[in-house]
């Protein structure tokens, strides 16, 4: 029996000064999905100017991405995940999902959401995790 795998990708942004986080599940890790994420982020924070730190992933460096107004990208140096506050958040909740089997994309997303809820319910927790100098 050959098992086929399905994937989902979590896109996330965090404000280390407030502990507020924003996440979106998308089907791919490419420039078009990044563009969708940035548009949703810009809509959710329409009254803010946003700076989004990105690593050097190919999808993050595409010149084809149409940036929403008031969204700027901050490219980080190669191999520097410690400079991106959202990576600390990923590392923290990733351990709660490690070595678990999810039958569907929906059940995986539900598991991710449950792992994220404590951070949404208590922004001070996320602020202390990501608000470093």
Question: Domain limits of the chain?
Answer: 1-98
DSSP string, 92-120: HHHHHHTT---SSHHHHHHHHHHHHHHHH
pLDDT 10s digits, 89-101: 888 888 888 888 8
Residue 2: pLDDT over 70? no
pTM for the predicted model, two decimal places: 0.88
pLDDT 10s digits, 71-130: 999 999 888 888 889 988 888 888 888 888 888 899 999 999 999 999 989 999 999 989
What pLDDT is stored for residue 132 in this prediction?
74
Q: Are 67 and 51 in contact (CB under 8 A)?
A: no
Residue 7: pLDDT over 90? no
Domain 1-98 falls under CATH 3.30.420.10:
yes
Report residue 90 as tokens.
């990923």
């Amino acid at each position: 029996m050959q098992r086929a795998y399905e994937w989902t990708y979590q896109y996330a942004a965090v404000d280390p000064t407030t502990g507020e986080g924003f996440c979106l599940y998308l089907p791919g890790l490419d420039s078009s999905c990044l563009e969708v994420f940035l548009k949703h982020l810009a809509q959710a924070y329409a009254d803010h100017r946003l700076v989004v730190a990105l690593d050097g992933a190919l999808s993050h460096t595409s010149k084809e991405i149409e940036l929403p107004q008031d969204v700027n990208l901050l490219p980080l140096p190669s191999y520097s995940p410690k400079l991106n506050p959202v990576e600390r958040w990923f590392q923290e909740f990733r351990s709660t999902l490690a070595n678990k089997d999810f039958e569907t994309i929906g059940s995986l997303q539900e598991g991710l959401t449950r792992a994220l809820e404590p951070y949404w319910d208590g922004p001070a927790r996320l602020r202390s995790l990501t608000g470093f100098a």
